[in-house]
Amino acid sequence: MTPQPPADNNDHLVQSEDPEHPANLIPSLCAKFWTLGWVTGTGGGASIRDDDLVYIAPSGVQKELMKPQDIYVLSLAAQAKSLDKRSRVYLRSPPYYKPSQCTPLFLAAFTKRHAGCCIHTHSHWAVLVTLILEQQAPGGKNFEFRINNIEQIKGFGKGFEKSGNLGYHDTLVIPVIENTAHEEDLTEFLEEAMDKYPDTYAVLVRRHGLYVWGDNVHKAKTQCESLDYLFQLAVEMKQLGIPWISDIEPTLPRRKD
């Protein structure tokens, strides 16, 4: 399935002294994500796009131990010219690993949303939120996670090609797609959700986890943190019997200077 890398393997693409280089950033981010419980047991992953080049964590690696030489690199332009959309031509492949099954999902964020970074977590809180939604509507599908009137909602952008962030009273909506037996088969569902929810920066996968992206690494990472915070809060609210959506009249400032 995986085409062989070129003879020279372009190892220079993952060699840099700059800690901000994608091949260095992905391992340091993933080590941090491991401590947060997002990428337990080789689950989850991350990918960064730098112009035409896409850097991807491999499959099956212990995320807190990943090294720059474990990173795959591919070209979006070369990929777009490929006749077989399911094949990948990697500019650079690591010697020991297989490509991530998340690859087509990361590519969807890069091509359909011009994202600069996409993160996939298996966070407990994300999974529990989808289980609670399912419990509230047995047999249902096409769930949405909705929450409002929580300050951390401001951590999200208003949407694709829109400037500014959501406000405190806005309702954050994250669609939930069905999980499939094979991760790469999620791609169509992810793309559908992107079409149906043009302003979302994230998609929950039922009983699986989260995909979240942003214009750059900073935005993807901080949006992922804010979402995980909200999912945890939502589970705790559920345990305390507090609804996720509330009707709170805006409080106006009293200052009149």
Site string for a copy of itself, 93-132 (x = CB under 8 A): -----------------------------x-x--xx--xx
Minimum CB–partner distance for residue 65 and a copy of itself (Å): 9
Number of residues that bind a copy of itself (CB under 8 A): 64
d(CA 92, CA 11): 6
232 binds a copy of itself (CB under 8 A): yes
207 binds a copy of itself (CB under 8 A): yes
- Sequential DSSP letters for 141-154: -S-EEEE-S-GGGG
Minimum CB–partner distance for residue 92 and a copy of itself (Å): 23
209 binds a copy of itself (CB under 8 A): yes
Q: For the CA atoms of 147, 148, 154, 160, what is the dihedral angle to 10 degrees?
A: 60
- What type of residue is 30? C
Tokens (6 digits) for 31: 């080590």
240 binds a copy of itself (CB under 8 A): yes
253 binds a copy of itself (CB under 8 A): yes
- β-partners of residue 205 are 177, 209
Angle at which helix 124-136 crosses helix 217-240, to 10 degrees, equals 50
Q: Is 102 annotated as a binding residue?
A: yes
188 catalytic? Reply is: no
Q: Is 122 annotated as a binding residue?
A: yes
d(CA 178, CA 142): 8
Q: Which of 91, 158, 169, 173 binds a copy of itself (CB under 8 A)?
A: 169
86 binds a copy of itself (CB under 8 A): yes
Buried/exposed code over 173-195 (b: 16+ C-beta within 10 A; e: otherwise): ebbbbeeeeebeebbebbbebbe
Other Cβ atoms less than 10 A from the Cβ of 8: the count is 8
Site string for a copy of itself, 7-46 (x = CB under 8 A): ------------------------------x--xxxx---
Buried/exposed code over 12-37 (b: 16+ C-beta within 10 A; e: otherwise): ebbeeeeeebbbbbbbebbeebbeee
Tokens (6 digits) for 236: 């705790």
152 binds a copy of itself (CB under 8 A): yes
Catalytic residue chosen out of the listed positions 20, 64, 134, 151:
151
242 binds a copy of itself (CB under 8 A): yes
- What type of residue is 78? A
179 binds a copy of itself (CB under 8 A): yes
229 binds a copy of itself (CB under 8 A): yes
Residue numbers of the site for a copy of itself (CB under 8 A)?
37, 40-43, 62, 85-86, 122, 124, 127-128, 131-132, 134-135, 149-152, 155, 167-169, 178-182, 185, 187-189, 205, 207-209, 218, 221-226, 228-229, 232-233, 235-242, 248, 250-255, 257
Task: Please identify every residue annotated as catalytic.
Answer: 151
